[in-house]
Structure 1
Amino acid sequence: LVTDIPGTTGASFGQEVMCYESPRPTMGIHRFVLVLFQQLGRQTVYAPGWRQNFNTRDFAEL
Protein backbone atom coordinates (compact mmCIF):
# COMPACT_ATOMS: atom_id res chain seq x y z
CA LEU A 1 0.00 0.00 0.00
CA VAL A 2 1.68 3.20 -1.21
CA THR A 3 0.27 6.69 -0.62
CA ASP A 4 1.21 10.25 -1.58
CA ILE A 5 2.64 9.30 -4.99
CA PRO A 6 3.42 12.52 -6.86
CA GLY A 7 1.62 12.67 -10.20
CA THR A 8 4.85 13.50 -12.03
CA THR A 9 6.93 10.57 -10.75
CA GLY A 10 6.65 6.86 -10.03
CA ALA A 11 5.47 4.86 -7.03
CA SER A 12 9.01 4.73 -5.65
CA PHE A 13 8.55 8.38 -4.61
CA GLY A 14 5.43 7.61 -2.55
CA GLN A 15 5.06 6.68 1.10
CA GLU A 16 4.94 2.91 1.69
CA VAL A 17 2.31 2.24 4.36
CA MET A 18 2.21 -1.54 4.04
CA CYS A 19 4.61 -3.83 2.17
CA TYR A 20 3.56 -6.46 -0.39
CA GLU A 21 2.48 -9.82 0.98
CA SER A 22 2.01 -12.86 -1.23
CA PRO A 23 -1.42 -14.52 -1.51
CA ARG A 24 -2.51 -16.92 1.21
CA PRO A 25 -3.01 -19.81 1.18
CA THR A 26 -0.10 -20.33 -1.17
CA MET A 27 -1.89 -23.00 -3.21
CA GLY A 28 -4.86 -22.56 -5.49
CA ILE A 29 -6.14 -19.87 -7.82
CA HIS A 30 -5.87 -16.24 -6.71
CA ARG A 31 -7.39 -13.06 -8.09
CA PHE A 32 -5.26 -9.90 -8.20
CA VAL A 33 -6.83 -6.46 -8.26
CA LEU A 34 -4.79 -3.27 -8.61
CA VAL A 35 -6.62 -0.14 -7.51
CA LEU A 36 -5.43 3.45 -7.89
CA PHE A 37 -7.13 6.30 -6.04
CA GLN A 38 -6.49 9.98 -6.61
CA GLN A 39 -5.89 11.86 -3.38
CA LEU A 40 -7.01 15.45 -3.05
CA GLY A 41 -3.83 16.18 -1.10
CA ARG A 42 -1.38 14.59 1.30
CA GLN A 43 -3.11 12.89 4.17
CA THR A 44 -2.35 10.33 6.84
CA VAL A 45 -3.32 6.83 5.76
CA TYR A 46 -3.04 3.98 8.23
CA ALA A 47 -2.27 0.38 7.33
CA PRO A 48 -5.22 -1.98 7.72
CA GLY A 49 -5.18 -4.01 10.92
CA TRP A 50 -5.49 -7.26 8.95
CA ARG A 51 -5.73 -8.24 5.31
CA GLN A 52 -8.38 -10.95 5.55
CA ASN A 53 -11.72 -9.66 4.23
CA PHE A 54 -10.20 -6.23 3.47
CA ASN A 55 -12.96 -4.01 2.09
CA THR A 56 -11.67 -1.66 -0.63
CA ARG A 57 -14.90 0.35 -0.69
CA ASP A 58 -14.73 1.07 3.05
CA PHE A 59 -11.05 1.98 2.74
CA ALA A 60 -11.79 4.43 -0.10
CA GLU A 61 -14.38 6.26 1.99
CA LEU A 62 -11.82 7.12 4.68
Structure 2
Amino acid sequence: MPRSGTDSLVLGEVIGDVLDPFIKFATLRVFYESREVINACELRPSQTINLPRVEIQGNDPTATYYYTLVMVDPDAPSPGNPTEREYLHWLVTNIPATGSISYGK
Protein backbone atom coordinates (compact mmCIF):
# COMPACT_ATOMS: atom_id res chain seq x y z
CA MET A 1 0.00 0.00 0.00
CA PRO A 2 1.43 3.41 -0.91
CA ARG A 3 2.45 5.62 1.95
CA SER A 4 1.84 9.32 2.26
CA GLY A 5 4.25 11.66 0.51
CA THR A 6 4.79 13.36 3.88
CA ASP A 7 5.88 10.13 5.61
CA SER A 8 9.51 10.50 6.72
CA LEU A 9 10.37 7.05 5.31
CA VAL A 10 9.08 8.12 1.90
CA LEU A 11 10.81 11.49 2.06
CA GLY A 12 14.06 9.83 3.10
CA GLU A 13 13.64 7.36 0.22
CA VAL A 14 13.75 4.38 2.59
CA ILE A 15 10.38 3.22 1.24
CA GLY A 16 11.05 2.18 -2.33
CA ASP A 17 14.82 1.85 -1.91
CA VAL A 18 15.39 -0.22 1.24
CA LEU A 19 11.82 -1.34 1.99
CA ASP A 20 8.85 -2.21 -0.14
CA PRO A 21 5.66 -0.28 0.67
CA PHE A 22 3.87 -1.77 3.69
CA ILE A 23 0.85 -1.31 5.92
CA LYS A 24 1.84 0.16 9.27
CA PHE A 25 0.28 -1.66 12.21
CA ALA A 26 2.64 -0.70 15.02
CA THR A 27 4.35 2.43 16.26
CA LEU A 28 8.09 2.32 16.90
CA ARG A 29 10.02 4.96 18.83
CA VAL A 30 13.75 4.79 19.57
CA PHE A 31 15.56 6.92 22.15
CA TYR A 32 19.23 7.31 23.01
CA GLU A 33 19.11 8.82 26.49
CA SER A 34 16.39 11.46 26.08
CA ARG A 35 16.89 12.08 22.34
CA GLU A 36 14.37 10.45 20.01
CA VAL A 37 15.81 9.03 16.80
CA ILE A 38 13.97 10.28 13.74
CA ASN A 39 14.65 9.94 10.03
CA ALA A 40 17.87 11.68 8.99
CA CYS A 41 18.97 12.52 12.53
CA GLU A 42 22.67 12.11 13.16
CA LEU A 43 24.15 10.79 16.37
CA ARG A 44 27.80 10.77 17.34
CA PRO A 45 29.27 7.38 18.33
CA SER A 46 29.64 8.68 21.89
CA GLN A 47 25.84 9.17 22.00
CA THR A 48 25.18 5.55 21.05
CA ILE A 49 27.45 3.70 23.48
CA ASN A 50 24.50 2.41 25.49
CA LEU A 51 21.62 0.42 24.03
CA PRO A 52 18.68 2.57 23.03
CA ARG A 53 15.28 2.49 24.67
CA VAL A 54 12.79 1.15 22.13
CA GLU A 55 9.04 1.53 22.44
CA ILE A 56 6.79 -0.65 20.27
CA GLN A 57 3.05 -0.17 20.40
CA GLY A 58 0.82 -2.33 18.22
CA ASN A 59 -2.76 -1.59 17.21
CA ASP A 60 -4.15 -4.70 18.95
CA PRO A 61 -2.91 -5.10 22.54
CA THR A 62 -4.69 -8.48 22.89
CA ALA A 63 -2.85 -10.05 19.93
CA THR A 64 0.33 -12.08 20.38
CA TYR A 65 2.88 -10.47 18.11
CA TYR A 66 6.62 -10.83 17.99
CA TYR A 67 8.75 -8.24 16.27
CA THR A 68 12.16 -8.14 14.64
CA LEU A 69 14.10 -4.92 14.96
CA VAL A 70 16.76 -4.23 12.34
CA MET A 71 18.91 -1.12 12.55
CA VAL A 72 20.64 -0.41 9.26
CA ASP A 73 22.29 2.57 7.68
CA PRO A 74 20.68 2.67 4.22
CA ASP A 75 23.33 4.88 2.64
CA ALA A 76 26.59 4.28 4.51
CA PRO A 77 29.03 5.91 4.68
CA SER A 78 27.13 8.90 3.27
CA PRO A 79 24.16 9.68 1.02
CA GLY A 80 26.54 11.04 -1.62
CA ASN A 81 28.78 7.97 -1.52
CA PRO A 82 26.69 4.93 -0.50
CA THR A 83 29.41 2.31 -1.02
CA GLU A 84 28.41 0.22 2.01
CA ARG A 85 24.67 0.26 1.41
CA GLU A 86 22.41 -1.09 4.12
CA TYR A 87 25.14 -1.56 6.70
CA LEU A 88 23.75 -3.69 9.55
CA HIS A 89 24.32 -2.11 12.96
CA TRP A 90 21.98 -4.12 15.16
CA LEU A 91 19.45 -6.98 15.00
CA VAL A 92 17.03 -8.21 17.69
CA THR A 93 14.42 -10.92 16.99
CA ASN A 94 11.43 -12.36 18.87
CA ILE A 95 10.59 -9.13 20.69
CA PRO A 96 7.19 -9.63 22.36
CA ALA A 97 4.68 -6.88 21.67
CA THR A 98 3.99 -6.57 25.39
CA GLY A 99 7.60 -6.50 26.54
CA SER A 100 10.93 -4.79 26.24
CA ILE A 101 13.50 -5.45 23.53
CA SER A 102 15.58 -6.96 26.32
CA TYR A 103 13.24 -9.98 26.05
CA GLY A 104 14.25 -10.45 22.41
CA LYS A 105 17.14 -12.50 21.09
Say yes or no: TM over 0.5: no
Greater share of strand: 2
Choose 1 or 2 for highest CA Rg: 2
Shorter-chain TM-score bucket reads 0.3 to 0.5
Relative to the length of structure 1, the TM-score reads 0.34
